[in-house]
């Protein structure tokens, strides 16, 4: 399940860029003693003081004799810089309520990159639109303007 629209998809068919191997080390808040993660990048853009990313994927249980993975339905928006990593919150929530976490121009650039990546992963603009409609996932709320505007933009 993707962390922004809540779309169900098969990761072996709909593919996003894997997160860099060092991201979990840079962002220790993304894991704990019991769980680590397998992450993909759903969006990224440069901001004035670092890079802002939307990540999501699977939680992987650490202390188990068998690999146990659970879908992470909310993902995370985070900011990375030379100073480290700051977890901003669940991806969709930060898009809806960026407050002082993300400046509007950065959020708009992030949404544009997100839509570009989703179109590529889902097989084009028409295929993504169809999937959003079929899964009743079109961003229609009052606080979804940034995502709606990004979806309305041409390829």
- Domain presence at residue 2: no
- Whole-number mean pLDDT of the chain? 91
- Domain presence at residue 8: no
Q: Could you tell me if 91 and 3 are in contact, meaning their C-beta atoms sit under 8 angstroms apart?
A: yes
Nearest CA to 130 out of 11, 14, 35 is that of: 14
Burial string for 7-40 (b: 16+ CB within 10 Å, else e) reads bebeeeebebeebeeebbeebeebbeeebebbbb
The confidence score (pLDDT) of residue 114 equals 97
- State how many domains the chain has: 1
Place of tokens 């994927």: 57
Confidence of residue 64 (pLDDT cuts 50, 70, 90): low
pLDDT (tens digit, 9 = 90+) per residue, 92-136?
999 999 888 899 999 999 999 999 999 999 999 999 999 999 999
- Domain presence at residue 79: yes
- Domain presence at residue 12: no
- Domain presence at residue 7: no
Q: What domain range includes position 123? A: 17-152
**What's the rounded mean pLDDT across residues 14-43?**
91
Residue 46: left if φ>0, alpha if ψ -120 to 50, beta else—which one?
beta
């Amino acid at each position: 399940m993707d962390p922004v629209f809540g779309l169900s998809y098969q990761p072996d068919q709909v593919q996003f860029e894997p997160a860099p191997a060092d991201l979990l080390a840079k962002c220790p808040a993304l894991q704990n003693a019991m769980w680590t993660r397998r992450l993909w990048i759903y969006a990224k853009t440069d901001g004035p003081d670092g890079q802002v990313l939307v990540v999501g994927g699977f939680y992987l249980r650490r202390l188990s004799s068998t690999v146990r993975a659970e879908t992470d339905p909310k993902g995370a928006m985070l900011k990375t810089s030379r100073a480290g990593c700051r977890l901003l919150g669940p991806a969709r929530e930060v898009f809806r309520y960026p407050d002082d976490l993300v400046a509007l121009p950065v959020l708009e650039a992030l949404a544009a990159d997100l839509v570009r990546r989703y179109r590529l992963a889902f097989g084009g603009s028409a295929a993504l639109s169809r999937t959003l409609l079929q899964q009743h996932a079109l961003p229609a709320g009052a606080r979804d303007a940034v995502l709606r505007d990004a979806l309305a933009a041409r390829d």
